Amino acid sequence: METLLTWSCYFTLFCFALAGVILSHPLFVGPTPQDRVLGIDALYLIGMMIALTLGMLYRTSWYFDIGLLVSLFGFLSTAAMARFLLRGEVIEP
Amino acid sequence: MMETLSPWIVIPASILIMISGLLVLTASIGMVRVSSFLPRTHIQAVIYSTALWALLLASLLLTFSLKDRTFLHEILIGIFIFITSPVSTILLVRSFVLREERANPADQGVTTPLASDAATSAQENDGTAASDVASIEAELEMEPEQDQGGKNQADAQITRGIAPPAAEPKI
């Protein structure tokens, strides 16, 4: 039973890595700036999912803290860039 | 520690983990294939959240069965993503819609239509309006036709045939 969980975690990590490679297409080629921001948001989500999967694979609590921090930074960066695209300035005086 | 896990916990957890991986792979392929921005936000908001919920459910199952630590992190991450993912999507869509609204009047202002183009377009509008009036008149004449038994059918056809030439002298 241990090997099934381990190999499913490895398979999921491979899928996440492949998805991260594929997501570089809307990040670099995306026609509008919003597409690029969306690609960055999706990459943050995938990074958080990789942290969660590693936490399930090695059974430590540290990876879940890392995932929480990555999701927090992802939301902050996405909100800041969306506000920059909306107003032209992140923090207005 | 892992040997204490029963297969009734491990098999659903591993299936959920693999579902999450396949969903993320499919969603990223769809992000490349979809050509517009708004369906991409849909992919972002729905499929990635579903994959994340599957992963968190698997982690909750393992944590409940092992009891080696508290399950606070999964619930915290779930609530956090549940709150913040619509906010970022709405901000991005608002910026996209505002940029499109800003871009379209700019195009119309740059390419100011010439007077002749405006005149021809007005004449075209008159022609379409005349034909619309003719068709409406024809429909109005078609209605009493059912009562009178098909006498006015020829009249309706005549008005339909005459009305577009009536619009031509205006041009």
What mean pLDDT is predicted for residues A56-76?
A: 89
Measure in Å the smallest separation between the Cα of B109 and chain A Cα atoms. 22
Residue A15 lies in a domain: yes
Judged against a pLDDT cut of 70, whether residue A73 lies above it is answered with yes
The domain limits of chain B are 2-110, 121-167
Of A9, A19, A26, the CB nearest to B25: A19
Measure in Å the smallest separation between the Cα of A93 and chain B Cα atoms. 20
Q: What does the pLDDT read at residue B111?
A: 46
Residue A8 lies in a domain: yes
Provide the number of structural domains found in chain A: 1
Q: Does A25 touch chain B (CB under 8 A)?
A: yes
Report CB contact under 8 Å: B66, A59.
yes
Q: What does the pLDDT read at residue B134?
A: 62
Instruction: List, as ranges, residues 11-40 from B with C-beta within 8 Å of A.
Output: 11, 13-15, 17-18, 20-22, 24-25, 27-29, 31-32, 37, 40
Q: What does the pLDDT read at residue A12?
A: 93
Prediction ipTM score: 0.87
Residue A44 lies in a domain: yes
Residue A20 lies in a domain: yes
Q: How many CB pairs under 8 A join A and B?
A: 149
Q: What does the pLDDT read at residue B99?
A: 84
Q: What does the pLDDT read at residue B106?
A: 59
CB A68 within 8 A of CB B73: yes
Report CB contact under 8 Å: B52, A64.
no
What mean pLDDT is predicted for residues A42-65?
A: 89
- Percentage of chain B lying above the pLDDT 70 cut: 60
Q: What does the pLDDT read at residue A19?
A: 93
pLDDT under 50 in chain B at which residues? 1, 109-113, 118, 121, 145-146, 149-150, 156, 158, 161-164, 167
Q: Does A50 touch chain B (CB under 8 A)?
A: no
DSSP state, A23?
A: T
Q: What does the pLDDT read at residue B21?
A: 92
For residue A34, give its domain range.
Answer: 2-87
Q: What does the pLDDT read at residue A30?
A: 77
